[in-house]
């Protein structure tokens, strides 16, 4: 369906990996769709500032959306990347215990993963760990063969390009400033580029999703930015590890601990740190944290030398849990209870990259229950299919 005079059936706010996945899933149906992104391109928010890990799903509490959607996302990720011609490598991960007491935690993680239906988890001893990762120090590990890596940037761009190919209109440099509900129950969305009218609004604004939610209803959500800083190692150091190397996560921590992540391009990332900050666009890196990252990484990999470091960056977790509480709250993916047809995605922190497609399908389900959507007859879902 074509939009008339900036009238759309659905407006998606935010062109991160989640907003782009939602736009793509919606484009499977006969709908006029617009995606509004305040930056000059898609993926300039948190979606280009993470570890690029396709998590298996053993870190999340059974029964939560984070656990369910992560496991679904992990199992369908290879197909998604194949459809979109995006790089994907199932390299596996080890969570390494360095003290006896941590072995009990590994067993708990394994049991949790098995409840979440994660496949192939094994506790391995130090000899097996040495065989898999000769340079890593540890007394035992949880081995997860299903953990993978991808390119978060290329995935976000590919999702957007496919959605565009299927008729979604993208408006970049377009910041939503306010939203009004009209008498006919449509929304009027005011932006720095003019006005949009739509029947549905999807709030996928990441760190700013609380601000966008408050444009239509009273305070209910709050997002606290929690910074994670990283070091990037030169590709010359890629031989040091073969898999993702994680520490045993600390109870109540706001992240999974300082890990070593091979990227799809052949670099290794060290990080992320874990620090609640006040400002949502403070992506700086700091010298005390950089020193701490080096020290933490050397506990596993004494071979890492400062000469391998080529640069640093940081990402901000969109946390619902305040710093006084820490830990993780579950994803919120729901229609507003006070404003009909306004769908909020709040607190989509890790594993939001892994779970982007199942999250998007869940949003479509919410709309489908109300509208009985009909399929888009011109749908092209595979990269290069139209050539
Ligand atoms: C340090 C770190 C490491 C992580 N590692 C992993 C990992 O390895 N694996 C994994 O699965 N997940 C990981 N995550 C989580 C993952 O990165 C996020 O869940 C995911 O990127 C969230 O995508 P998003 O689209 O919701 O948010 P974003 O990418 O932030 O997108 C939101 C978009 O909304 C736009 N926007 C905001 N306000 C407005 C407005 N008013 N008008 C128009 N546009 C607006 C922003 O510009 C932005 O582009 C990590 C996160 C962090 C911080």
Q: Worst-scoring range by mean pLDDT, 36-40, 357-361, 377-381?
A: 377-381
> What are the residues facing 323 on neighbouring strands?
none
Task: State the pTM of this model.
Answer: 0.96
> What are the residues facing 232 on neighbouring strands?
269, 311
pLDDT of residue 3: 55
Whether 18 and 39 map to the same domain: the answer is yes
Whether 74 and 103 map to the same domain: the answer is no
| Higher pLDDT among residues 251 and 150, named by residue | 150
Ligand 1 atom nearest 352 alpha carbon: 19
Which amino acids bring their CB within 6 angstroms of ligand 1? 13-19, 36-39, 44-47, 50-53, 55, 175-176, 204-208, 212, 228, 272, 315-317, 348-354
Phi/psi of residue 53, each to 5°?
-95, 135
pLDDT of residue 2: 47
pLDDT of residue 253: 74
Whether 256 and 385 map to the same domain: the answer is no
pLDDT tens figures, 247-260: 999 877 767 889 99
Query: What's the pLDDT band for 50 if we cut at 50, 70, 90?
Result: very high
pLDDT tens figures, 4-30: 579 999 999 999 999 999 999 999 999
Whether 78 and 131 map to the same domain: the answer is no
**Measured distance CA(350)–CA(328) in Å, rounded:** 9
Measured in Å, residue 103 CA sits from the centre of ligand 1 at 33
Measured in Å, residue 206 CA sits from the centre of ligand 1 at 5
Describe the crossing of helices 17-26 and 356-371 by its angle, rounded to 10 degrees.
Answer: 40
Whether 233 and 374 map to the same domain: the answer is no
Of 35, 36, 45, 156, which is best to mutate to test ligand 1, by the most ligand atoms within 8 angstroms of its C-beta? 45
pLDDT of residue 95: 98
Query: What's the pLDDT band for 93 if we cut at 50, 70, 90?
Result: very high
**Nearest CA among 249, 252, 305, 302 for reference residue 272:** 249
Q: Name the domain boundary from 293, 319, 345.
A: 319
CB 109, CB 154: distance < 8 Å: no
Measured in Å, residue 386 CA sits from the centre of ligand 1 at 30
Q: Is 129 helix (H, G, I), strand (E, B) or coil?
A: helix
Whether 277 and 363 map to the same domain: the answer is no
CB 173, CB 39: distance < 8 Å: yes
Ligand 1 atom nearest 354 alpha carbon: 11
Whether 140 and 277 map to the same domain: the answer is yes
pLDDT of residue 133: 97
Residue 1 has pLDDT above 70, yes or no: no
CATH number of the domain at 250, please: 3.30.9.10
Residue 384 has pLDDT above 70, yes or no: no
**Nearest CA among 170, 176, 139 for reference residue 156:** 170
- Give residues with Cβ within 8 angstroms of 253, minimum separation 6: 274, 326, 327
pLDDT tens figures, 324-343: 998 899 999 999 999 999 99
Residue 270 has pLDDT above 50, yes or no: yes
pLDDT of residue 387: 46
Whether 337 and 348 map to the same domain: the answer is yes
Residue 386 has pLDDT above 70, yes or no: no
CATH number of the domain at 211, please: 3.50.50.60
Mean pLDDT over 304-308 rounds to 89
Measured in Å, residue 287 CA sits from the centre of ligand 1 at 25
Q: Name the domain boundary from 303, 319, 335.
A: 319
Q: Name the domain boundary from 319, 334, 365.
A: 319
**Measured distance CA(59)–CA(55) in Å, rounded:** 9
| Tokens at 7, concatenated | 């009238």
Q: Worst-scoring range by mean pLDDT, 12-16, 136-140, 300-304, 352-356?
A: 300-304
Whether 303 and 345 map to the same domain: the answer is no
Of 40, 88, 206, which is best to mutate to test ligand 1, by the most ligand atoms within 8 angstroms of its C-beta? 206
Peptide bond into 351 cis (omega under 30): yes
CB atoms within 10 A of CB 283: 16
Query: Which residues are identified as catalytic?
Result: 55
Query: What's the pLDDT band for 220 if we cut at 50, 70, 90?
Result: confident
Domain with 276, as residue range(s), is: 93-145+227-319
Whether 209 and 68 map to the same domain: the answer is yes
Whether 61 and 121 map to the same domain: the answer is no
Strand segments, DSSP code E, in 258-341 are: 259-262, 268-271, 275-276, 309-319, 332-335
| Tokens at 129, concatenated | 């760990």
Whether 162 and 199 map to the same domain: the answer is yes
Average pLDDT of the chain? 95
Count of structural domains, the chain: 2
């Amino acid at each position: 369906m074509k939009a008339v005079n900036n009238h759309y059936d659905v407006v998606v706010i935010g062109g991160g990996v989640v907003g782009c996945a939602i736009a793509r899933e919606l484009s499977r149906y006969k709908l006029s769709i617009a995606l509004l992104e305040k930056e000059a391109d898609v993926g300039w928010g948190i979606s280009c500032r993470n570890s690029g890990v396709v998590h298996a799903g053993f870190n999340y509490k059974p029964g939560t959306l984070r656990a369910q959607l992560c496991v679904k996302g992990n199992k369908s990720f290879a197909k998604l990347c194949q459809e979109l011609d995006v790089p994907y490598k199932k390299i596996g991960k080890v969570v390494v215990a360095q003290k006896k007491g941590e072995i009990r935690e590994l067993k708990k993680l394994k049991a949790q993963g098995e409840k979440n239906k994660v496949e192939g988890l094994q506790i391995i001893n130090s000899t097996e760990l040495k065989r898999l990762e000769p340079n890593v120090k540890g007394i035992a590990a949880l081995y997860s063969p299903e953990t993978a890596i991808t390119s978060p940037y290329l995935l976000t761009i590919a999702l957007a390009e496919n959605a565009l190919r299927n008729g979604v209109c993208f408006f970049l440099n377009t910041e939503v400033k306010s939203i009004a509900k009209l008498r006919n129950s449509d929304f009027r969305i005011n932006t720095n580029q003019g006005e949009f009218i739509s029947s549905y609004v999807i709030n996928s604004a990441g760190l700013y999703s609380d601000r966008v939610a408050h444009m239509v209803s009273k305070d209910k959500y709050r997002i606290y930015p929690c910074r994670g800083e990283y070091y990037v190692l030169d590709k010359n150091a890629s031989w040091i590890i073969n898999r993702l190397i994680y520490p045993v996560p600390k109870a109540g921590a706001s992240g999974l601990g300082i890990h070593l992540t091979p990227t799809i391009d052949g670099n290794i990332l060290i990080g992320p740190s874990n620090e609640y900050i006040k400002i949502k666009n403070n992506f700086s890196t700091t010298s005390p944290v950089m020193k701490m990252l080096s020290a933490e990484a050397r506990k596993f990999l004494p071979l890492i030398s400062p000469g391998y470091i080529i640069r640093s960056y940081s990402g901000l977790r969109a946390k619902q849990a305040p710093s006084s509480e820490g830990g993780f709250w579950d994803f919120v993916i729901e229609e507003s209870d006070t404003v009909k047809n306004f769908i909020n995605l709040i607190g989509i922190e890790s594993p939001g990259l892994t779970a982007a497609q199942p999250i998007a399908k869940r949003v479509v389900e919410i709309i489908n229950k109300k509208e009985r959507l009909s399929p888009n007859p011109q749908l092209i879902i595979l990269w290069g299919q139209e050539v």
